[in-house]
Amino acid sequence: MKFGIAIAIRMQPEIIERINDGPTEEYFREYNRINEKLDSIVMSCVKYIEAKGFNAIEQTTTFVTSDDNLTTSLPHKTVATRAGLGWIGKSALLITPQYGSAIRLSSVITDMPLPIDSPINESKCGNCINCVVACPAKAIKNTIWNVNTTREQLLEAFKCRQKARELLKQRIGVEIFLCGKCIEVCPYTKKDW
């Protein structure tokens, strides 16, 4: 399948702004609300494509995460960079010019011929180190991304995950991987406020 559809939903800026002291219950609810909405959109998209006689793979929030190495064969953010939505920041998150990294992503892979956009192959983070300095886990390596950069070159994923679980459990008693500090401090995210 040669085509990918990147779907992004912006998180509410006022919720992201309040992550300054760590993850909040309202951030946790927003994260889940958007994931449910993305899953619904993705499933509807797949049904539409299949009704047109083409194949499609839904990359819902339950499809893409592997606990062994915290990777997937085709991450949403890769589909999004190929679609021209943004670049990968030093935090290993997709950053869009409009909303920074304050978005949630999902994707659909298909053989249905679709118009394509110009991919983004290089970071626009430059010398900014806001996410590097703010990371509670000290997991961000301060590497500037390009299309050949691996996640391991950007971020210590297990270190990030462990600290995020710890922070959310301390803050609201929920034990999942959710922090958001790198999202909150990104200058591109703050542009949207």
Cβ atoms within 10 Å of 101's Cβ, excluding its own = 25
Note the pLDDT of residue 65: 55
Q: Which amino acid is it at 71?
A: T
Model pLDDT for residues 141-192, shown as the tens digit of each residue = 999 999 999 999 999 999 999 999 999 998 888 888 899 999 999 999 988 6
Is the pLDDT assigned to residue 70 strictly greater than 80? no
Model pLDDT for residues 91-148, shown as the tens digit of each residue = 999 999 999 999 999 999 999 999 988 999 999 999 999 999 999 999 999 999 999 9
Q: What is the pLDDT confidence band of residue 21, given thresholds at 50, 70 and 90?
A: confident
Note the pLDDT of residue 135: 96
